[in-house]
Amino acid sequence: MTIDWLQMLFGRLSLDALPSDIVTIGGAAMGVFGLLFIVGLITVTKRWRWLWRTWLTSLDPKKIGVMYIIVSGVMLLRGLADVVMLRAQQALFATGMDSPIGSDLFQQVFSAHGTIMIFFVAMGVIFGLINLIVPLQIGARDVAFPLLNSISFWLFFAGMALMNVSLIIGEFSAAGWLAYPPLSTLEYSPGTGVDYWIWALQIAGIGSLLSGVNFLVTIFTMRRKGMTLMKMPIFVWSVVGSMALVVFAFPILTATLGMLTLDRTLDTNFFTSDMGGNPMMYVNLIWAWGHPEVYILILPAFGAFSEIVPVFSRKRLFGYTSMVWAIMAITVLSFTVWLHHFFTMGAGANVNAFFGIMTMIIAVPTGVKVFNWLFTMFRGRISFKTPMLWFMGFIVTFTIGGVTGVLMAVPGIDFQVHNSLFLVAHFHNMIIGGVLFGAFAALAYWWPKFTGFRLHEGLGVAAFWSWLVGFVLAFAPLYILGLMGAVRRLDSYDASLGWQGLFVVAGVGVTFILLGVFFQVLQLAYSIWKRKELACDHDPWNGRTLEWATSTPVAEYNFATMEAVNDRDEYWETKYSRKRRNHPKYSDVLVPKNSGFGVYVSSAVVVMGFAIVWHMWLIAAIALIVTIVLAICVGLRENVERVITAKQVAESEKKLWKGAGA
């Protein structure tokens, strides 16, 4: 028996893998030219060494947080490009015009859109905010495992990169954003699309799991002296709930994707319809991860709103203790409702009744939070700045999504609307109206904390109203269409049904959302250009600030004196009660040195994932060995630190306390 080394080296990769239709060719060309432009710009400006030393190898959580947000912003633009194609296809189906995309490509595009928005936009921006804010709020100089934090980001980046490679070589999954069997099995999806989907999620998911462990350890072991659990900011509590869900839910995703991989590569039968397999077991497992995932995303948004509302209402947060208990209740209950995602599978009246009741119960702690925010605003001196506007938009859209969610918790109603556009509208109400609006509010609010200048307010307001109007126009028609019987995941509908007008309205809504994104990009560019004019003091919003003792911009050696915390709102007490502090003698501070391990691991993992997708087993084996060796080196690597001298610490602290008004 001879070994076919050519087959081992190239697997099923051939010239046929290059894009062939105009839409895919255009997307691939834009991606390649965009990448070449960035590489050329960095080369011309001779910034490679600066980029490597300052950003790519940095273990500073604030810089890692910024990189998360940059990647998420880029992927948001790609996700919006996908949805433009989807809505254009549906809006033009009855006009007689040529379809922008075919049926098969339509399925790939909506699968990519869902995957991008959940895994590489929402997850990325949430982890970015956590990196930026949590260490500052608990008074820690860093996270518990700085190198692991860098590796987590680069695994997230690797998953994103592997997914985008499918634009250029091969295809993406057409099995939906959760790839239900049997559609995702080899029988119905023999190409590379599902494999790209599996490995992009598997790699990014492992990075998320490592981040979850890292942040839980950071919060429970590195809080400033005096900061008891019930003195932690609500945002930190929301991160505790979210990261606990990550630690318990993401292993389910890893195992589920592993079994689907075995079905596709080794012909096992975990999720097939024969040989003892059960496709519904996959659906159970994927939603046992998937519904906690919704709360992994939404809890930090809840935490951000809990910081924003008191500031712009000039009041303490109403019901701090009930907020904490509500977060913990949601964390526990989120594991008891997954089956409402497939009431239609025929599990029986008793099973459906239990999960329907649990779905209604989990709405209670969410309602508690909404009323706490409203009571915080009651009789407050409310200032409708951009972050507060995003909160008000959230209240409207999220409440609509919550009401429709409780409606669908009734199995009888769910049987009618589950496979319709009504469900699509509900889901977007929760993710866009909740997670994305929360991320926009948090970025607008905390932007001065890590840049030193505020974003332009007028452009921010224009972006908000464009998003809100666009969101209502884009998804209100889908509720109506769903009730009228429009099934989801279709690229065209019978023109005689009279639905064309509603699809056109939805397309107009997407146009308004694009206008909102344009204003956001313009706001960012203009604010950077005018950053000196928009520079702000330590308290940029001129109100009750619940973060305490952070500088703007934040220095990497803050909290050098490590004084004890005495109040839940320590910064406000320091600034406005004019407390005087006697700082102890300054000492040198140790911070971790930069490390390129994250970049190296990411590169090896991307090569391994690509090789497995194309059955290039020799390359896959080599990349796997390299990854294992790198992992061992990371484990053996000593904590190499560098010194920030006492003089530098003293200068930083003087600026810090001058900004705090002490």
Mean pLDDT of 1-11: 63
Q: Which residue has the higher pLDDT, 565 or 170?
A: 170
The confidence score (pLDDT) of residue 469 equals 95
Mean pLDDT of the region 596-605: 91
Token pair, residue 314, equals 């000039």
Exposure string (b/e) for 310-321, b if CB count within 10 Å is 16 or more? Answer: bbbbebebbbbe
Q: Do the domain assignments include residue 585?
A: no
Q: How far from the centroid of its chain's Cα atoms is residue 233's Cα?
A: 21
How confident is residue 543, by pLDDT bands cut at 50, 70 and 90?
Answer: very low
What was the pLDDT predicted at 392? 95
pLDDT at 142: 84
- Predicted confidence at residue 262, as pLDDT, reads 93
Structure tokens at 317: 């947060």
How far is residue 130's CA from residue 126's CA, in Å, rounded to a whole number?
A: 6
Is 631 a member of any domain? yes
Note down the domain range covering 275: 7-547+596-636
pLDDT, mean of residues 243-265:
95
pLDDT at 246 over 90: yes
Other beta carbons less than 10 A from residue 602's beta carbon: 24
Burial of 496 per CB tally in 10 Å (0-12, 13-18, 19+): exposed
Which residues fall within 8 angstroms of residue 504, CB to CB, at 6 or more apart?
Answer: 91
- What pLDDT score was predicted for residue 574? 58
> What is the rounded end-to-end Cα distance, in angstroms, of the chain?
80
338-353, pLDDT tens digit by residue?
A: 998 888 888 888 999 9
Q: What is the maximum span of the chain, computed from C-alpha positions, in angstroms?
A: 84
**pTM score of the predicted model:** 0.91
By mean pLDDT, which of 111-125, 137-151, 188-202, 647-661 is the weakest?
A: 647-661
Q: Does any domain span residue 555?
A: no
Which residues, in sequence order, are bridge partners of residue 592? 641
- 515-524: average pLDDT: 95
Determine which of 76-80, 359-363, 466-470, 585-589 has the lowest per-residue pLDDT on average.
585-589
What domain count does the chain have? 1
Residue 441, domain member (yes or no)? yes
Q: What is the mean pLDDT of residues 308-325?
A: 90
Is it the case that residue 658 has pLDDT exceeding 70?
Answer: no
Q: Is 578 inside a domain boundary?
A: no
Which pair of tokens denotes residue 451?
A: 């840049």
Q: Give the per-residue pLDDT at 253.
A: 95
Q: Which residue has the higher pLDDT, 590 or 408?
A: 408
- The mean per-residue pLDDT over the stretch 465-477 comes to 95
Distance from C-alpha of 366 to C-alpha of 398, rounded to nearest angstrom: 10
pLDDT number for residue 428: 92
Q: What is the pLDDT of residue 490?
A: 85
CATH number of the domain enclosing 175: 1.20.210.10
- pLDDT at residue 557 above 60? no
DSSP structural state of residue 314? T
**Where is pLDDT greater, at 60 or 540?**
60
Looking at the predicted structure, is the pLDDT value of residue 88 above 90? no
pLDDT, position 562 = 59
Q: Does residue 499 carry a pLDDT above 70?
A: yes
pLDDT by residue (tens digit) across 277-316?
888 999 999 999 999 999 999 999 999 999 999 888 888 8
pLDDT band at 661 (very low <50, low <70, confident <90, very high): very low
The per-residue pLDDT for range 420-443, each reduced to its tens digit, is 999 999 999 999 999 999 999 999
Residue 591 lies in a domain: no
pLDDT value at residue 242: 96
What percent of the chain has pLDDT above 70? 84
Mean predicted lDDT score pLDDT of the chain: 85
Tell me, yes or no, whether 339 lies in a domain.
yes
- DSSP E strands: which ranges in 487-576? none
Q: What is the pLDDT of residue 85?
A: 87
With cut-offs at 50, 70 and 90, classify the pLDDT of residue 42.
Answer: confident
Does residue 168 surpass a pLDDT of 50? yes
- Reported as a pLDDT band with limits 50, 70 and 90, residue 546 is very low
| Most confident stretch, 42-46, 67-71, 531-535 | 67-71
Inside any domain, residue 653: no
